[in-house]
Structure 1
Amino acid sequence: MASLGTLRRALSHRNARIFFGASLTAWTGLWMHRIAVSWLAWELTESAFWVGVVAFCDLAPAVIFSPLAGAVADRADRLRMTMLSQAAIGLNAAVIALLVASGSMTIGVLLVLEVAGGIAASFAQPARQSLMPGLVPRADLPAAVALNSLTFNVARFIGPALAAPLIAVAGVWPAVAVNALAYAVATATTPMLRVEESQRRGHAATASLFGEMVDGVRYAARHPGLGPILAFSAVGAVLLRGVQEILPPYVERIFGLGPGALAGLTAAFGVGALCAGLVVAARGKLAGTTRLAVLGVGALGVATAGFAATGSFAIGLVCAVLMGAAGSVHGISVQTLAQSASDPSMRGRVLSLWGLITRACPALGALLLGGAGEVFGLRWPTLVAVALSLLVVAWGLARLPRMAAALEAPPAGR
């Protein structure tokens, strides 16, 4: 009940209702798109490696463009940047849908278009996240951050549930077309937000955009809390998140099933993430959040080991729920810490680094796992990655007191 009250308070604000309504619409389309494109790549190639490459092409542009996008978000109009980047994502999805519907799609063209979509998403993420403190009062910011993750994971449940029967009946292209329509709706509603000018821009533009980008990286790296927690998250994402990016090979090779099972697993991730997110939102406090961020990766590693080791789809579904829950606890915790501990003038750049981690690191993990899966099978490379992730968790626990002291203390001047 505490969690529902916290979320209701965040949603009592007009801006939040518009923002999260648009987010739910767009992200539902996004998850339909991901299921459809992942299955399309598997149909075109029947290769775990190429499915991993497609995921890599969607997520990896964050390596180059997220730091740049963060610097832009700190000097540009964040509302306008959000609207333009969402429009670009929708247009890209419309092109993919048209090519698939016309029978003109090839794996090479798909890779190029996924790169283009990934670039647009790299700009959308820091712009949207940087707007959040302007949507609700500061007291409601932790609830808004939790609600942002919950919205993403509700969409993660709804999207696959809609995509699976649609793909089975009509094929891939209608699911991708829905994503184009969803982002068109999100783009059209963005101008309805009423955000103070001070929250729409981080600071006045300086002479060098590249210099600001470098300053953001240096700021995060030198921060006694942000640097270690972001590095911890990056390594954990490379080792563990790739599994969720290349699900089709697991579905067919380990469980011997088809697109319905793929949608079921993706929805299970969303259910776990939603339930865990409600629990995190119910806390309503910053103290202890760093510990949750570290332990979340440990729990994700254990659940991933169970997922890879079993041949039972029922057990796999349970593990998927636990994986979604653990990933949600970690993600909400790190994002809350980043929002709270960052200097306002650096917020866009810090959140762009978080966006880089959540997009590029799973992409690299998917590529490595897909390549290893072609040689050794999927099970053993996954279990090796889990073992390495537990070593990373041990490092995080050793650094926990110092990280928590830097991340959970109220920033000076607030």
Structure 2
Amino acid sequence: MAVLSTLTRALAHRNARIFFGASLTAWTGLWMHRIAVSWFAWQLTGSAFWVGMVAFCDLAPAVIASPIAGAIADRVDRVRLAMVTQAAIGVVALLVGSLVLAGQMTIGLLLALEMLSGIAASFAQPARQTLMPGIVPRADLPAAVGLNSLCFNVARFVGPALAGPLIAYAGVAPAIFCNAFAYFIATATLPMLVIDPAQRRGHPATASLFGEVREGITYAARHPGLGPLLAFAAVSAILLRGVQEILPPFVERAFGRGAEALAFLTAAFGIGALVAGTLVAARGRLGGTTRYAVLAIACQAVATAGFVITGWFPLGLVAGAAMGAAASVHGISVQTLAQSAADPAMRGRVLSLWGLITRGCPAAGALALGAAGEVFGLQWPVLVAVALSALVVGWGMVQLPRMAASLEQG
């Protein structure tokens, strides 16, 4: 019970219940959509490269859009920005589902629509994340960050668990329509939030938009803790997260299974992330969080190696759960540190860089892995990435004392 007390304290606030309920709804739809479009791309092309391209087009727009989105989130009404962008995600999902149902979807059109959705998501992410200090008191902020990640990982379990059977028996279109419906519901709940105007609105414009983008990047790069932490997270995501973005080729080539197995595997990632994330989020303190962020990547590398080496599906599920657990610990730790250490005037821009890392870097990894997989097979490129990630962990351990001293004061 002590493990859950910190999390339930955060949920005692009305705003938090509305916010996280909407998040859980939207992200459940999102995971149904991701399973559906990746499986559709695999059925349509039979190519790991094109499956990687679908993930790339969804996630890669963050490279350009996220820094701009962060600067905008620091100067506008964040609730309205979140409403507009979430509604846009729902509209695109509705269009994708309609074209698939009508038999008019091509791989080129799917890539274009996934890119539009990715752009909208890149703006929604900092808008929502910057609202978090306004929905709970500062003392409950670490728990709120943990709850945010837990909602994502609960959805990561529930979404595939719903999508797999639905795709198997009714096709991919209904799963995509569920995403549209979920985002429309999440958009409708945002006006119910009662947030202090100081937290709801960013600061008045102090420079040009691109000047503020540059200020945010410079601030993060020069910060003694945020700079190395975000760099560590970015390189780790490129090397290790690509596997999770192109699961259909692994399911069919490595394990010889179909859509239901893809749902089981994605759910295993979510279960591992949920259990580990609950324990980390319930800590409710900053001390030691930087060490968690670094060591979690070492665990993720080991689990990833185990996943690609085995051809036995039950062991693949266990390795997938371990990968999800490690990724969740890392993500919660980095986001908690970024929320706590960033200057309030820079919070949107710092969190947009975290959004860039969580979306753009896995996209790059997925594209590289998909292309290499067509030439060398799926196993060896992943093992090379795991070996390189060991070097990154070594660098992180060297930087750990300096990062912790800067990030764990707040």
TM range (shorter): over 0.9
Conservation of the 8 A alpha-carbon contact between 1:71 and 1:212: yes
Kindly report which structure 2 residues correspond to 1:180-191, keeping only aligned pairs within 5 A, or say none: 180-191=180-191
Runs of 4+ more than 2 Å apart: none
Partner of 2:312: 312
Q: Is residue 89–residue 180 contact of structure 1 (8 Å, CA) maintained in 2?
A: yes
* 1:22 and 2:25 correspond: no
Determine the C-alpha separation between the residues in 1 that align with 2:237 and 2:8.
31
Offset from partner CA, 1:87-144 (integer Å, 9 cap, x none): 0000000000000000000000000000000000000000000000000000000000
* Cα distance in 2 between the residues matched to 1:258 and 1:161: 14
Task: String of CA shifts for 1:7-37, please: whole Å, max 9, x gaps.
Answer: 1100000000000000010000000000000
Separation of aligned partners in 1, 2:336 and 2:178: 31
Contact kept in structure 2, 1:202 and 1:346, CA below 8 Å: no
Deviations 1:370-411 (A, max 9, x none): 00000000001101100000110000001100010011112x
- How far is 1:196 from its partner? 0.6
Please report how far the alpha carbon of residue 282 of structure 1 lies from its aligned counterpart in structure 2 after TM superposition. 2.3
- What residue in structure 2 maps to residue 321 of structure 1? 321
Answer yes or no: is 1:249 the counterpart of 2:216.
no
Instruction: State whether structure 2 residue 223 is matched by structure 1 residue 223.
Output: yes
Cα deviation per residue 1:69-92 (whole Å; 9 max; x = unaligned)? 000000010010011100000000
For the residues of structure 2 that align with 1:207 and 1:365, how far apart are their CA atoms?
34
Match of 1:131 in 2: 131
Q: Is the 8 A contact 1:240 1:304 kept in 2?
A: yes
Q: Secondary structure at 1:10's aligned position in 2?
A: helix
For 2:242 and 2:206, the matched residues in 1 are separated by: 38
Q: What is the root-mean-square deviation in Å for CA atoms of aligned residues?
A: 0.6
Assess if the C-alpha contact under 8 Å between 1:202 and 1:344 holds in 2.
no
Q: TM (normalized to structure 2)?
A: 0.99
Give the structure 2 partner of residue 102 of structure 1: 102
Letter in 2 for 1:283: R
Quick check: 2:6–2:283 contact (8 Å CA) kept in 1?
Answer: no
Query: C-alpha separation between the residues in 2 aligned to 1:192 and 1:84?
Result: 15
Structure 1 Cα separation of the partners of residues 230 and 282 of structure 2: 24
Task: For residues 171-192 of structure 1, give each alpha carbon's deviation from its aligned partner in whole angstroms, at most 9, with x where no partner exists.
Answer: 0100000000000000000000
Matched, 1:334 2:308: no
Please list the CA deviations of residues 213-244 of structure 1 after superposition, one character each: whole Å capped at 9, or x if unmatched: 00000000000000000000000000000000
**Aligned residue in 1 for 2:404:** 404
2:238 corresponds in structure 1 to: 238
**Whole-Å separation in 1 of the counterparts to 2:206 and 2:337:** 27
**TM alignment of 1:269-348, pairs within 5 A:** 269-348=269-348
Describe the superposition over 1:282-324 as per-residue Cα deviations: whole angstroms up to 9, x where unpaired. Answer: 2111000000000011100000000000010010000001000
Structure 1 residue 2, shift from structure 2 partner? 1.9
Q: CA deviation digits over 1:135-170, x for unaligned, max 9?
A: 000000000000000000000000000001110111
Shift of 1:281: 1.8
Query: Do the aligned residues in 2 keep the contact of 1:229 with 1:403 (CA within 8 Å)?
Result: yes
Task: Tell me the CA shift for residue 359 of structure 1.
Answer: 0.2
Partner SS, residue 283 of structure 1? coil
In structure 1, the residue matched to 2:159 is 159
Is contact 1:59–1:360 with CA below 8 Å preserved after alignment?
Answer: yes
Question: How far apart are the structure 2 equivalents of 1:78 and 1:98?
Answer: 30
1:209 aligns to what? 209
TM-superposed CA distance for 1:4, in Å, is 1.1
Mapped partners of 2:206, 2:140: distance in 1: 32
Paired with 2:219 and 2:81, the residues of 1 have a C-alpha distance of 23
Q: Distance in 2 between matches of 1:165 and 1:281?
A: 31
Provide the rounded CA distance (Å) in 2 between the counterparts of 1:140 and 1:172: 40
C-alpha displacement of 1:207? 4.0
State the percentage of identical aligned residues. Answer: 74
What residue in structure 1 maps to residue 37 of structure 2? Answer: 37
Superposed, 1:66-81 pairs within 5 Å as 66-81=66-81
Instruction: Report what 1:366 is aligned to.
Output: 366
CA distance in 1, matches of 2:259, 2:229: 36
Shift of 1:206: 2.8
CA contact (8 A) 1:79 1:200 kept: yes
Q: Structure 2 stretches of 5 or more lacking a match?
A: none
Q: Which amino acid aligns with 2:255?
A: F
Unaligned stretches of 5+ in structure 1? none
**Partner residue of 1:149?**
149
Any idea what the Cα deviations from partners look like across 1:245-301, whole Å, max 9, x if unmatched? 000000000000001110001000000000001110221110000000000111000
User: Is the Cα contact below 8 Å between 2:74 and 2:348 reproduced in 1?
Assistant: yes
State the match for 1:52 in structure 2.
52
Partners of 1:264 and 1:215 lie apart in 2 by 44
What secondary structure sits across from 1:112 in the alignment?
helix
1:195 aligns with 2:187: no
1-structure distance, mates of 2:133, 2:76: 16
CA distance in 2, matches of 1:281, 1:48: 35
Deviation digits for residues 41-94 of structure 1 (CA, Å, limit 9, x no counterpart): 001100000000110000000000000000000001001001110000000000
Task: Tell whether the 8 Å contact from 1:268 to 1:320 is kept in structure 2 after alignment.
Answer: yes
> 1:357, 1:197 → 2: CA distance?
29
Q: Give the match for residue 140 of structure 2.
A: 140
Q: C-alpha deviations, 1:351-372, integer Å up to 9, x for none?
A: 0000000000000000000000
Task: Look up the SS of the partner of 2:301 in the other structure.
Answer: helix
